[in-house]
């Protein structure tokens, strides 16, 4: 074990104010690094759940249809009913893997496929405006929406309208919904809710049921809290690491549009946070959720000082309308914090005497 002797001041996320060209926001709509190699071949259907193999077969067919080159300039107008599929299943059955595999297959066929989470698309509308977003996405053959969220009526209506306009432009659509970790009832299957919310488009979507158990056997993890001085020392000793006071970072996030949170993490290999504490305000908590999603997409480990994830979101928040977001964030942040704690252990850093 070594004493704390920081090598120098690491970077700080609070010192970053990213300026993002709108073209970059659109260009980044690709499967995240976590699913960069996802394919139909690498998805192993559970023989006990035939719906998994059936979903793979259906999506392979969809990829072939969507991937065919346009025969003429009026191809889109002739295809009045482009492909539209919705993957309906429980937590951890591989829906995102399959969605990413579909995007990769269409891209491999020489066509353009956009892939993003529900939040990324709503943030894109916020950054570009609705009409510019439609124009940008209409150039794609396929638009994939991961974790379609039904907890914000305004955003749901916005996304429903966006999907309708894209479908009218001949763009194929594919979506999944977010689910609660370990849920056995509410939130496990959301097809009825999804179809009700998209209303005019409901008849166009082919619902693919993906049954099965959570292949990760994952529950909400509680990120291990580290002493703040350990967080500081580990961050100081790693290239590309950042170090921030948790409260200061939350304040900074309010000054950066959520569509730029990905750019905020450019070149970051590790995020160190000191003084982690409970978040009491919902708007602050929701911004944190978006940041955690971008960290998870990029597989960036996190060092959590202070209280870690313990009581990060209140019981009231976890019972409220945005509970799915908070449970997802806790699960993801817990996993990233476990990776960060492992890095700290490997660095053989110990707390300062009396810490």
Give the domains, in start order, of the chain with CATH numbers: 13-20+219-346 (no CATH), 47-210 (3.40.50.300)
- Rounded (10°) angle between helices 153-168 and 130-137: 40
CA distance 261 to 290: 8
For residue 244, what pLDDT is reported? 98
CA distance 195 to 155: 15
Query: How much is the mean pLDDT over the chain?
Result: 85
For residue 177, what pLDDT is reported? 78
Residue 55 CB partners (closer than 8 Å, separation 6+): 87, 98, 208, 209, 210
pTM of the model: 0.76
Do residues 172 and 82 touch, judged by C-beta distance below 8 A?
Answer: yes
> 192 pLDDT exceeds 80?
no
Both tokens assigned to 233:
């020392």
Which stretches of 139-269 are assigned E, i.e. beta strand?
A: 142-148, 172-177, 206-210, 241-245
More confident residue, 193 or 206: 206
For residue 4, what pLDDT is reported? 44
Residue 333 exposed, middle or buried by CB count within 10 Å (0-12, 13-18, 19+)? buried
Both tokens assigned to 270:
């590790």
> 187 pLDDT exceeds 70?
no
For the ranges 19-23, 176-180, 204-208, 350-354, the lowest mean pLDDT is seen at: 350-354
More confident residue, 192 or 248: 248
Looking at the chain, how many residues does it have?
A: 355
Q: 81-107 b/e with 16+ CB inside 10 Å = b?
A: ebbbbbbbbbbbbbbbbbbbbbbbbbb
pLDDT band, residue 89 (cuts 50/70/90): confident
Number of other CB atoms surrounding residue 11 within 10 Å: 18
> 73 pLDDT exceeds 60?
no
For residue 186, what pLDDT is reported? 42
For the ranges 227-236, 283-292, 343-352, the lowest mean pLDDT is seen at: 343-352
CA distance 150 to 258: 19
CA distance 174 to 172: 7
pLDDT digits (tens, 9 = 90+) for 5-31: 444 568 999 999 998 888 888 999 999
* Beta pairing class for 113-117 and 142-148: parallel
For residue 153, what pLDDT is reported? 75
For the ranges 103-112, 138-147, 197-206, 293-302, the lowest mean pLDDT is seen at: 197-206
CA distance 57 to 66: 14
More confident residue, 225 or 92: 225
- Of all residues in the chain, the percent with pLDDT exceeding 90 is 54
For residue 3, what pLDDT is reported? 44
For the ranges 33-42, 133-142, 160-169, 211-220, the lowest mean pLDDT is seen at: 211-220
How crowded is the C-beta side of 191, counted as CA atoms within 13 Å? Answer: 15
Residue 47 CB partners (closer than 8 Å, separation 6+): none
CA distance 259 to 75: 33
Element (H, E) at 254: none
CA distance 328 to 342: 21
């Amino acid at each position: 074990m070594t004493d704390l002797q920081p090598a120098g001041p690491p970077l700080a996320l609070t010192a970053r104010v990213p300026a993002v060209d709108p073209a970059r926001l659109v260009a980044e709509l690709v499967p995240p690094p976590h699913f960069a190699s996802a394919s139909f071949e690498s998805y192993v259907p559970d023989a006990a759940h035939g719906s998994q193999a059936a979903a793979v077969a259906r999506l392979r067919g969809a990829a072939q249809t969507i991937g065919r080159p346009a025969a003429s300039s009026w191809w889109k107008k002739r295809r009045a009913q482009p492909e539209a599929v919705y993957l309906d299943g429980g937590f951890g059955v591989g829906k995102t893997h399959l969605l990413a595999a579909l995007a990769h297959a269409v891209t491999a066929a020489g066509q353009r496929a956009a892939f993003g989470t529900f939040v990324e698309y709503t943030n894109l509308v916020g950054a570009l405006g609705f009409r510019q977003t439609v124009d940008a996405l209409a150039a794609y053959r396929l638009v994939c929406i991961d974790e379609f969220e039904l907890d914000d009526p305004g955003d749901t209506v916005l996304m429903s309208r966006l999907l309708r306009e894209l479908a009218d432009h001949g763009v194929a659509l594919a979506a999944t919904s977010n689910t609660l970790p370990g849920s056995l009832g509410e939130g496990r299957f959301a097809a009825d809710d999804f179809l009700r919310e998209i209303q005019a488009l409901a008849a166009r979507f082919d619902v693919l049921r993906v049954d099965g158990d959570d292949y990760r056997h994952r529950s909400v993890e509680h990120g291990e809290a580290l002493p703040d001085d350990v967080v500081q020392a580990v961050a100081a000793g790693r290239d590309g690491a950042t170090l921030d006071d948790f409260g200061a970072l939350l304040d900074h996030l309010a000054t950066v549009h959520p569509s730029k949170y990905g750019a905020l993490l450019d070149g970051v290999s590790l995020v160190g946070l000191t003084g982690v504490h409970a978040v009491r305000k919902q708007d602050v908590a929701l911004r944190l959720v978006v940041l955690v999603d971008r960290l998870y997409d990029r597989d960036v480990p996190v060092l959590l000082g202070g209280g870690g994830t313990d009581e990060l979101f209140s019981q009231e928040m976890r019972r409220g309308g945005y509970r799915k977001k908070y449970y997802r964030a806790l699960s993801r942040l817990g996993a990233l914090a476990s990776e960060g704690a492992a890095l700290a252990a490997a660095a053989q850093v110990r707390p300062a005497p009396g810490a």
